[in-house]
Structure 1
Amino acid sequence: MSAATPPTRGVGSQRGEAPGLAAEPAGRRALTPIAWEWFRGKILLQVTINGRRVMAFLDNAANYSVMDRRLASELGLKEGAAGKIGAAVGAIDIRTLPPVSVEFTDGTRTDIRPIAADLAAASVLLGRPIEFVIGGDFFRKGAIGIDFPARKLLLMGTGVRPNPPYESIPLQQVGLDMALSLKAGAESVTVVLDLGSNGELELDEDSWKRAGADVTLLSEGRKAGAQGQIVAQKKAHLPAVTLGSATLSPVDVRIGPLPPHLVGKVDGMIGANLLSRYRIVLDVPARRLWLWRRSEAPAYPADRTGLGLTPAVRGFRVAYVATNSPAERAGWKAGDTVCAANDMQLDPASEAALDWVSRGAGETVRLRTCDGKSRSLTLENYY
């Protein structure tokens, strides 16, 4: 990472500064914040690869950066050996690629040797075209500060020591992943840090039996992989999760099988939506995560419909209907469509298109299917 000289102090609340990821020590070149977009629980940003501007998203748990095969072809990159790599759901077919030059909007340039994969299904599931995944190989180059409320990112050298109120959380290496310890309920669990996940907390079945023994409100849902694979997954809420000195309540939990490379090594994964309750500095080379709890952090946008919606050419398609949910009781089925809510046309590329699914319990939403039928759904806290 060819950023400015690593700071010896100064990320955050120095005298006279606004909160956030702030200044460099006197005499050092100030770091330039990089703007990013928060879209359905993922951090999206523009980068330039070999002179071409593309949309990328951050995913430290992708052990290597990934380029869409179509983009690789358009850039004239020659694909090498074929293989497979494990993912959150299933495995992904990959090809090796030569190194590329990646430039961020702050002027930072770095060489990355990505792998090539078909990201078309991932783009469809997200509702936005994704051509590049900035993976763990980039995070292993230095520290990255993420200011969630300001939607700003800073690229820094390793060894940064943020000022209070940041607190230090030690990380442990699990293969190429980074894991930390937290308390889920009264149970201590070890979870992999996964900025590419738009959930809050995922636990395997055994860990959930210990952490969620007193939780009775559960629902069956689904989880989609990067290439469209679907697996069953339960969901529930934990009344308390403690990370560092802060106790978060409630926390959305998904329960199901972990990726094969993590089975037996950790208890689960912590996703970007839980980390968005903090300002963070992730320093992988130093095995350190710095956290600043946001007092103004919004609650997780819990689904109150039971509709598992995926973007379609027009509106959204129902991929599954969660058990014990208002959608199940109202007779919704997989394959149904939704094109409007409360008379607003639903654009899959808009972040606001799914705001209605997490409105207040008891509210009735007027829906229109893509074939013109009118339906309604009363929202509930069903899990």
Structure 2
Amino acid sequence: MRLSRMMVLALLLALGACLRMPPVPDMRTAIRSPSLTGAAPRSVTLPFILDAGRVLVEITLLKPGGGERNVLAFVNMGSGSFGLSHALFRELNPGNGRPLRLKFGAMQIALDGRTIQPLALASGLHLTLNPLGAPPSAADMAKEKEPNADFFAPRKIEAVIPPGLLQHFQVVFDYGARHMTLAVPGTLAPEGVAVPIRVNPRTGFATVDATLDGMRTPLVIDNGGGFSALRDVAPVIDAHPSWLRSQGGIGWANYLFAPGGADALSPVIKIPGAALGPLKLPELGAQEPRMPALIYFLAKGAFWDWYGEKAGEEIQGWIGGNVLKNFRVTLDYPARTSHWLAQGPFDTHDLDQVGIVLGRAKDVVTIIGIALKNGAPTVSDVKVGDRLLKIGDLETSGATRDQMLSALHGKPSENKRLTLERGGKRIELDVPVTGF
């Protein structure tokens, strides 16, 4: 038995050694813009789409041979590099050192082509069977299948804007108006509670000191996460069992929205009386992102080490869209200060919904988990593996993640009509909204 355990441990260690963290380019001198050297415009404002807490904005890419291409970009303040879809990376070929030129509204920006990565390289950890060999090049990665095609479906995301670009400007996310502003430093007079930030100039990652349960907790401001996250929620739950609101990622905490059941394992908590520097919050909702057990065992430490490398310090989590949406957030990177202007009462009912966890693949939406509250299932009759066809009158085929989660949201006294498919049979059920 001892030999068997040792062999299992050796196998796990060997697999762990095969996890490779993507390279993080240095963004300090990667950005050029006429606006930063005195030319007009000094600021631009564009509308954005808020999809389950994540910010999507349309930008224009300038082709090397002439012509323009409008693309929908994901503004991800947890990304270490500017990412392009694999098709665009192959077409624009920035890996040869040619700068990538883009327009954010009327503002032109050029990025050092060596800092551009295909989405598969920019988006996560990689498993390699030859950990001692040379890592694949960006050009090689761009030949692979496009990753996460279902993540924002039916929308097509072709670029990722990282904080390494944003850090050269004053940036405003006006969640109430759904507007994003980029301004030359010194142009804007920020409003709201001033919260100091630490910025890693290599990546633009902005970190705040939060106070959670009386303890200093460094968190990255990361709108790439629709829901806030903590590295380890077990100590919080052990000390305060009532703070566990759901076992299962519901609402915007349905983080991956993918088959495989990972979100179904995610614990979701709400910490009362939290603070970001001097900014007091009624609560902070957070999850511990989970993956299937073996992968989670192998990758958890590697992921947070990689995330901390990008932040430039050890990090305990991030502030995501569920908190950010309550404010007009100004990031004055040069002044190392963020400003938080409240836009109404803080939403403390954001998780109130039907207690099901969803996954989508190729436009098929499946129930991957039933959320537990106080250890008990919140929904009966619905089964893991059921295909979700409709929520009320909303057909899930062709619907965005935000549309589906909004349709599941409601008041605890409400019922929602779900149309399911199980074993080839169509089923209609009225299921309750749970106050999480």
TM over 0.5: yes
1:36-65 deviation digits (Å, cap 9, x = unpaired): 111111111111112211110101220111
For 2:61 and 2:158, locate their aligned partners in 1 and report how far apart those are by CA, in whole Å: 10
Flag the 1:224–1:250 CA change in 2: closer, same or farther, 3 A: closer
For 1:116 and 1:35, locate their aligned partners in 2 and report how far apart those are by CA, in whole Å: 25
1:139 paired with 2:193, answer no
Asked whether the equivalents of residues 221 and 235 of structure 1 are also in contact (C-alpha less than 8 Å), the reply is: yes
For 2:408 and 2:339, locate their aligned partners in 1 and report how far apart those are by CA, in whole Å: 32
Give the structure 1 partner of residue 29 of structure 2: none
Flag the 1:172–1:301 CA change in 2: closer, same or farther, 3 A: same
Aligned pair partner of 2:211 in 172, 183, 205? 183
Give the structure 2 partner of residue 259 of structure 1: 304
For 1:329 and 1:304, locate their aligned partners in 2 and report how far apart those are by CA, in whole Å: 11
Question: Deviation of residue 251 (structure 1)?
Answer: 2.9
Question: Deviation of residue 292 (structure 1)?
Answer: 1.4
1:55 paired with 2:72, answer yes
Aligned pair partner of 1:77 in 69, 76, 93? 93
1:212-240 deviation digits (Å, cap 9, x = unpaired): 82242443325755998847421122222
For 1:300 and 1:233, locate their aligned partners in 2 and report how far apart those are by CA, in whole Å: 19
**Unaligned stretches of 5+ residues in structure 2:** 1-31, 63-67, 124-145, 290-299
CA RMSD, 1 decimal: 3.3
Give the structure 2 partner of residue 322 of structure 1: 371
Query: Normalising by the residue count of structure 1, what TM-score does the alignment of the two structures yield?
Result: 0.77
Counterpart residue identity of residue 82, structure 2: S
Question: Deviation of residue 101 (structure 1)?
Answer: 0.9
Asked whether the equivalents of residues 326 and 378 of structure 1 are also in contact (C-alpha less than 8 Å), the reply is: no
Aligned pair partner of 2:404 in 353, 357, 367? 353
Q: Which has the larger radius of gyration?
A: 2
Flag the 1:150–1:159 CA change in 2: closer, same or farther, 3 A: same
Question: Deviation of residue 269 (structure 1)?
Answer: 0.9
Give the structure 2 partner of residue 198 of structure 1: 226
For 1:121 and 1:332, locate their aligned partners in 2 and report how far apart those are by CA, in whole Å: 30
Question: Deviation of residue 182 (structure 1)?
Answer: 1.7
Give the structure 1 partner of residue 337 of structure 2: 288
Asked whether the equivalents of residues 314 and 339 of structure 1 are also in contact (C-alpha less than 8 Å), the reply is: no
Counterpart residue identity of residue 267, structure 1: Q
What does 1:223-242 correspond to in 2, within 5 Å?
Answer: 230=262, 232-242=265-275
1:333 paired with 2:372, answer no
Give the structure 2 partner of residue 156 of structure 1: 183
1:109 paired with 2:109, answer yes
Give the structure 2 partner of residue 31 of structure 1: 43
Question: Deviation of residue 327 (structure 1)?
Answer: 5.7
The answer to which of 309-318 and 336-345 deviates more is 309-318
| Secondary structure of 2:266's aligned partner | strand
Question: Deviation of residue 170 (structure 1)?
Answer: 1.4
Question: Deviation of residue 180 (structure 1)?
Answer: 0.5
Query: Normalising by the residue count of structure 2, what TM-score does the alignment of the two structures yield?
Result: 0.68
Report how many aligned residue pairs link the two structures: 342
The answer to which of 305-314 and 148-157 deviates more is 305-314
Counterpart residue identity of residue 43, structure 1: V
Give the structure 2 partner of residue 213 of structure 1: 239
Give the structure 2 partner of residue 41 of structure 1: 53
Counterpart residue identity of residue 40, structure 1: A
Sequence identity of aligned pairs in percent?
A: 17
In proportion to residue count, which structure has more helix? 2
Question: Deviation of residue 135 (structure 1)?
Answer: 0.9
Give the structure 2 partner of residue 379 of structure 1: 433
Question: Deviation of residue 103 (structure 1)?
Answer: 0.9
Give the structure 2 partner of residue 130 of structure 1: 157
Asked whether the equivalents of residues 305 and 314 of structure 2 are also in contact (C-alpha less than 8 Å), the reply is: no
Counterpart residue identity of residue 63, structure 1: G
Counterpart residue identity of residue 117, structure 2: I
Flag the 1:69–1:262 CA change in 2: closer, same or farther, 3 A: closer
Question: Deviation of residue 77 (structure 1)?
Answer: 1.8
Flag the 1:349–1:380 CA change in 2: closer, same or farther, 3 A: closer
For 1:76 and 1:243, locate their aligned partners in 2 and report how far apart those are by CA, in whole Å: 41
Counterpart residue identity of residue 288, structure 1: T
For 2:61 and 2:357, locate their aligned partners in 1 and report how far apart those are by CA, in whole Å: 34
Asked whether the equivalents of residues 248 and 371 of structure 2 are also in contact (C-alpha less than 8 Å), the reply is: yes
Asked whether the equivalents of residues 44 and 104 of structure 2 are also in contact (C-alpha less than 8 Å), the reply is: no
Structure 1's consecutive aligned runs of 4 or more residues displaced over 4 angstroms after TM superposition are: 3-7, 222-229, 296-300, 312-315, 325-329
Flag the 1:132–1:5 CA change in 2: closer, same or farther, 3 A: closer
For 2:237 and 2:333, locate their aligned partners in 1 and report how far apart those are by CA, in whole Å: 28
Counterpart residue identity of residue 68, structure 1: S
For 1:213 and 1:6, locate their aligned partners in 2 and report how far apart those are by CA, in whole Å: 53
**Unaligned stretches of 5+ residues in structure 1:** 8-27, 81-96
Asked whether the equivalents of residues 44 and 183 of structure 2 are also in contact (C-alpha less than 8 Å), the reply is: no
